[in-house]
Amino acid sequence: MMISIKKGRLNSMLGCIFLCITYVKSLFLFLGFIIVSQTITAQEENNRRLRSQLSPFLSKSYFSFNFGGIYYPYSNENLKEGYTSSGTKMNAFSGRLLLGYKLSNNTALQFGVIRPASWFSFKDIEYKGQESSVWVNAWTISLKQNINVFKKTDFFIELGVANNSRVGIYNNDTPIYESVRYISSVLGTGIQYRLNEKWDLMLMTTYLPESISNNQPYTLQSTFGAKYNLKQVPKNLAEKYLSDKSYFFPKQFVNIGYGSGNLGFFTNRFFSAKAKAGNYESLGIPIFWHGDLEAKSVFSLTYQRTAFRTKRYFSLDWGASFTFFNTPKKSSLYALSIFPVLRFYLFRTKGVDFYTNYSVIGPTYISKSTIDGIKTGTEFTYQDFMGVGAFFGSSKQYNLDVKIMHYSNGNIFTQNAGVAIPLVFSFGYTLP
């Protein structure tokens, strides 16, 4: 008995040591990232690129948001033999978001996502009144080629690949319509009209072919939207922005944060339209995400740097973070992330500048993929956060920030439970 106790203690000690070593290695990786960024900073200063100017990459980039109808001809033939439905329910409204980089004036590389506003459903498979959802999501990488047809009008074609993920229907562990992830081609065509040097209007159709081996019908989407082209700020104007000291933008800063699930998750639920109040079951504004797993406590160390700023109200930042959190069933894990940040300054005073920020799809390594028995996908995931904060002090050297966070893989994989992080309160300091 004594020996078994000692062995148990030894295993526990070794486990703790291994965990500590892992965290120390991760922190060194985080610090290394900061050192590399400082080296890049020095090089940027040598090249005299102003923070009020876009980087060469960003100056050739654009984003587009498109909304319209989507169609996929699901039927009882897609269900496992022995199962039938009395009908289907489809919300045809859908969207497509694209981020693009111009390889030349007429050729671009695009990364984007296609998804419906709500999932397709089969009715009454097992009992009357039942709706069984099929979740379908596609992330795409494609080449877009423009062909000018009129002075301000281009015809374009698109060809690429799509990562398709489908979360199917199960009766306990018995598949009625199996989950699957597979790669397919993506084809598109459309017309874009140039409003001015920054804005284009777009009308396009996108097609994902049928996959017989994966029991997936084709997808057809037609959308109308707009494309915003990032344009370089002239150097004389950029220098004027920087010389105006009326508006503070931090060059870089670090902060340390802590959050506790004891405060509840109302904020997370409200901004994902899942809050409950009185007779309301879905109260809120759907601009963020919640998750199947709610963290119990969280500690974060974050570095952020301004990559681009306008004269007064907006900056595009990038950063890195090390986040450690515990779960209700006493699991401990960490996440390493790099991420973009959109920061909007709400109002400024002599001593305090108030802002709101929003960050999505920050590539992340998370140390566990099965958490408290919930399968969240793989160790690769994304970090998202949104919050408010302020810079204050005699030279705006201090930072206070409060935010909610979320980890999920954006339905790249069929398992995507998601992790909700409670309100994180952070204090930070700006760096020269």
- pLDDT tens for residues 235-253? 888 888 888 888 899 999 9
In this structure, how many other beta carbons lie within 10 angstroms of the beta carbon of residue 204?
Answer: 22
The pTM of the full predicted model, rounded to 2 decimals, is: 0.78
Longest alpha-carbon distance in the chain: 87
d(CA 347, CA 329): 42
Rounded mean pLDDT, 129-141: 90
- Is residue 14 scored above 50 in pLDDT? no
On whether the CB atoms of residues 232 and 50 are closer than 8 A, the answer is: no
Note the pLDDT of residue 135. 87
Q: What contacts 248, CB < 8 A, 6 or more positions away?
A: 348, 353, 391, 396
Task: Assess whether 187 and 250 both reside in one domain.
Answer: no
Task: Assess whether 277 and 383 both reside in one domain.
Answer: yes
Q: How confident is the model at residue 3 (pLDDT cuts 50, 70, 90)?
A: very low
Task: Assess whether 357 and 411 both reside in one domain.
Answer: yes
Q: What angle do CA 377, 380, 381 make, to 5 degrees?
A: 75
Rounded mean pLDDT, 10-35: 49
Least confident of 174-188, 199-213, 331-345, 371-385: 371-385
Q: Which amino acid is at 201?
A: L
In this structure, how many other beta carbons lie within 10 angstroms of the beta carbon of residue 275?
Answer: 19
d(CA 175, CA 158): 35
On whether the CB atoms of residues 403 and 420 are closer than 8 A, the answer is: no
Give the SS3 label for residue 252.
strand
Domain assignment present for residue 364? The answer is: yes
- Is residue 142 scored above 80 in pLDDT? yes
Note the pLDDT of residue 342. 93
On whether the CB atoms of residues 377 and 369 are closer than 8 A, the answer is: yes
Rounded mean pLDDT, 74-90: 90
Can you give the CATH number for the domain in which 344 is found? Answer: 2.40.160.20
Task: Assess whether 304 and 375 both reside in one domain.
Answer: yes
Task: Assess whether 96 and 36 both reside in one domain.
Answer: no
Give the chain's mean pLDDT: 86
Q: How many residues belong to the chain?
A: 432
Residue for token pair 């040598």: 46
Q: How confident is the model at residue 294 (pLDDT cuts 50, 70, 90)?
A: very high
Q: How confident is the model at residue 185 (pLDDT cuts 50, 70, 90)?
A: very high
CA dihedral 34, 109, 92, 291 (to 10 degrees): -20
* Buried b / exposed e along 10-40 (16+ C-beta atoms within 10 A): eeeeeeeeeeeeeeeebeeebeebbeebeee
Note the pLDDT of residue 233. 85
% the chain with pLDDT above 70: 87
Domain assignment present for residue 53? The answer is: no
Task: Assess whether 329 and 389 both reside in one domain.
Answer: yes
Rounded mean pLDDT, 217-228: 96
Q: What contacts 46, CB < 8 A, 6 or more positions away?
A: none
Q: How confident is the model at residue 281 (pLDDT cuts 50, 70, 90)?
A: low
Task: Assess whether 258 and 341 both reside in one domain.
Answer: yes
Task: Assess whether 100 and 225 both reside in one domain.
Answer: yes
Q: Number of structural domains, the chain?
A: 3
d(CA 380, CA 181): 15
- Is residue 259 scored above 70 in pLDDT? yes
